[in-house]
Amino acid sequence: MLTLSTLAFVLIVITAMVILVFRDWRVNAGALAAQYLAAFALVTLSWPIGMSIVKLIVGWMATATIALTCLRQKESEPSSEPAASLFLRGLSGLLVILVIFILAPNLRENIFPKLDLVIVQGGLMLLGMALMQLGTNSDPYLTIISLLSLLSGFEIIHAGLEISTLLTGLLAIVNLGLALVGVYFIAKTSEQEETTASGEES
């Protein structure tokens, strides 16, 4: 169990960093799907698998919804970015990781004494990375991905505090609602880009 939770935590750190650093929707969608798998593994430490799997299914559904919309709407070639941007975002991600490693034991001791440290660290890592992402971009797609990550981080911690069918159901609605809002935004952005492009051509 310890190995599994450690692996899940490592996967969370890697996927959160990938989402923070890279801007290609394919990479981000893949990382988000892997992130939900890791979050599921951490939730199983607190909840029975039957309940935990709801989070995995909902997360993958949300990811699939967004990814399929991107597949239809976004351009096929990923846009290249200067290495300096990637480096700076990577650096900010490392800063978040450092802060979480310093803060998590203290927070666990004072606020969440009943939770495993790995649960607190995993949840906070997603919350921290998502906050960093939200603060550093204004792209609708990345905003939605960040919000989904943020909720995922919160759900890992909250699962250790309470088990409730209604809460799980409502959180599933919120996650899927966010994904639908993401689809709405992506479709609109693409429409606008197409209109602008056709205007320029004519």
Partner 1 sequence: MTLSTPILWVILPMGIAAIVGVFYNRYIFSIILTSVTAFALSMLALFFPENMTLSLGPLNLVFVESLAILGRQITIAYEMLPFITLIFFMNGLWALSSGISSVPKTFRPVSLVMTSLLTAALGVEPFLYAALLIETAVLVSIPMLSPLGQQPHAGVLRFLSLQTLALPFILLAGRLLTGVEALPPDSPLVFQSALMLGLGFGLWLAIFPFHSWVPMVSQRGSPLVTSFLLFIMPTTILLFSLNFINRYTFLRESQGLYETLRLIGTIMIVIGGAWSAFQNNLKRAFGFSALTETGFSLLAIGLTSQGGLVWMLLLFPVRALSFWLWGYILTLIEVRTGSLQIKGVQGFARRYPVLSIGLLLAQLSVAGLPLLAEFPIKISLITAAFETSTPIGVLSFLGNLGVFLFTVRLLAFLVTPEDADFPTRWSFTEETFEYLPVLIMILALLALGLFPHTFLSGIIQTLTAFSQLQ
Site residues, partner 1 (CB under 8 A): 110-111, 127, 134, 138, 140, 143, 146-147, 150-151, 154, 157-158, 161-162, 164-167, 169-171, 173-174, 177-178, 180-181, 184-185, 188-189, 191-192
**Contact (Cβ atoms closer than 8 angstroms) between residue 63 and residue 29:** yes
Give min distance, CB of 67 to partner 1, in A: 19
Residue written as tokens 């802060």? 99
What is the sign of the dihedral through the CA atoms of 167, 173, 178 and 181? negative
We find the least distance from the C-beta atom of residue 103 to partner 1, in angstroms, to be 13
Sign of CA dihedral 126, 175, 26, 139: negative
Q: Which is nearer to partner 1, 6 or 164 (CB)?
A: 164
What is the rounded CA–CA span in Å between residue 97 and residue 192? 37
Nearest approach in angstroms of CB 3 to partner 1 is 28
Nearest distance, CB of residue 190 and partner 1, angstroms: 10
Comparison of 8 and 127: residue with beta carbon closer to partner 1: 127
Residue 101 · residue 146 · CB < 8 Å: no
**Cβ 87 to partner 1 shortest distance, Å:** 25
Nearer to partner 1, 30 or 140 (CB): 140
CA 171 remoteness from chain centre:
15
Nearest-angstrom CA–CA distance, 148 and 142? 10
**What is the rounded distance in angstroms from the CA atom of residue 77 to the CA atom of residue 42?**
35
Q: Which is nearer to partner 1, 4 or 194 (CB)?
A: 194
The residue (of 79 and 165) whose beta carbon lies closer to partner 1 is: 165
